[in-house]
Amino acid sequence: MVIRMRHTRAHTGNRRSHHALKTAANTISETGQRHRIDMETGMYRGRQVIDVTKKALKKAKKSA
């Protein structure tokens, strides 16, 4: 036998205040997938992380 405690309306409302639906977060930006470096520009999260020209020169030198 389970005896449940009664809750006041205020307590129930406080608990349910977190049940509201939230808008869906953007998981994919316009530029591509999350946590991916743009290989054309070398940008990640608004900053330059790869020198694309240096990488292209290195690749050209390696293939020649």
For residue 18, which phi and psi values (nearest 5 degrees)? Answer: -90, 0
- Side-chain half-sphere of 35: how many Cα atoms within 13 Å? 1
Q: What is the pTM of this model?
A: 0.38
With respect to residue 49, please indicate whether it lies within any of the assigned structural domains. Answer: yes
- Domain span at residue 62 reads 34-64
With respect to residue 19, please indicate whether it lies within any of the assigned structural domains. Answer: no
| Domain count of the fold of the chain | 1
User: Considering only 7-11, 26-30, 42-46, 60-64, which range has the smallest mean pLDDT?
Assistant: 26-30
Residues, the chain, total? 64
With respect to residue 25, please indicate whether it lies within any of the assigned structural domains. Answer: no
The structure tokens listed for 48 are 């330059």
With respect to residue 9, please indicate whether it lies within any of the assigned structural domains. Answer: no
Q: What is the pLDDT of residue 30?
A: 57
CA distance linking residue 41 with residue 51, whole number of Å: 8
